[in-house]
């Protein structure tokens, strides 16, 4: 009888331990602060993924013969343009983010030793002579 009670208590404890992550209050967890930039990025990523998936499906259907050449040529152009526009938008966002990060990382004042690095380099000669050819026989 005692073994049955101990077994039941162990089973209940195991069930509670397993269910605890699902029972807990998720407040404060997985909270993401979406900015307009991150929402724009997500929209562009989704547009890119949709266009590329549609292109992949169109290519497959064309190869298997479900879509003839005329329909394929008519449908592939807009899908490629949509994918290219999404990729260009992502590139613009990445460039803007990189410029913003570079501007934020730029120091307000240059240290005194940096003035030596800012000095102009010695001018290059007008024409650099070509190295002499060796007899390679090529």
> What's the CA gap between 11 and 128, in Å, rounded?
84
| pLDDT higher than threshold 60 for residue 121 | no
Q: Of 46, 41, 47, 52, nearest to 95 (Cα)?
A: 41
Q: pTM higher than 0.85 for the full model?
A: no
Q: Of 60, 59, 100, nearest to 79 (Cα)?
A: 59
Q: How confident is the model at residue 128 (pLDDT cuts 50, 70, 90)?
A: very low
| pLDDT higher than threshold 60 for residue 124 | no
| pLDDT higher than threshold 70 for residue 103 | yes
At residue 34, the pLDDT reads 77
At residue 69, the pLDDT reads 94
What's the pLDDT tens digit per position in 49-92? 999 999 999 999 999 999 999 999 999 999 999 999 999 999 99
What's the pLDDT tens digit per position in 8-63? 999 999 998 888 888 876 665 555 667 888 888 999 999 999 999 999 999 999 99
Please, are residues 44 and 93 in contact by the beta-carbon 8 Å criterion?
A: yes
Q: Would you list the domain boundaries of the chain?
A: 37-103
- Residue 62 neighbours by CB under 8 Å, 6+ apart: 69, 72
DSSP secondary-structure letter at 28?
T
């Amino acid at each position: 009888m005692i073994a049955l009670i101990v077994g039941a208590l162990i089973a209940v404890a195991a069930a509670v331990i397993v269910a605890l992550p699902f029972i807990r209050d998720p407040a404060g967890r997985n909270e993401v602060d979406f900015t307009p930039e991150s929402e724009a990025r997500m929209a562009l990523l989704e547009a890119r993924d949709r266009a590329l998936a549609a292109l992949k499906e169109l290519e497959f259907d064309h190869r298997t013969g479900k879509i003839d050449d005329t329909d394929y040529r008519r449908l592939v152009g807009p899908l490629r343009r949509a994918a290219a526009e999404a990729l260009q938008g992502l590139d613009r966002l990445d460039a803007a983010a990189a410029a913003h990060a570079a501007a934020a990382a730029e120091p307000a004042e240059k240290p005194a030793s940096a003035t030596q690095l800012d000095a102009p380099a010695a001018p290059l000669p007008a024409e650099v002579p070509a190295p002499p050819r060796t007899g390679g026989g090529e």
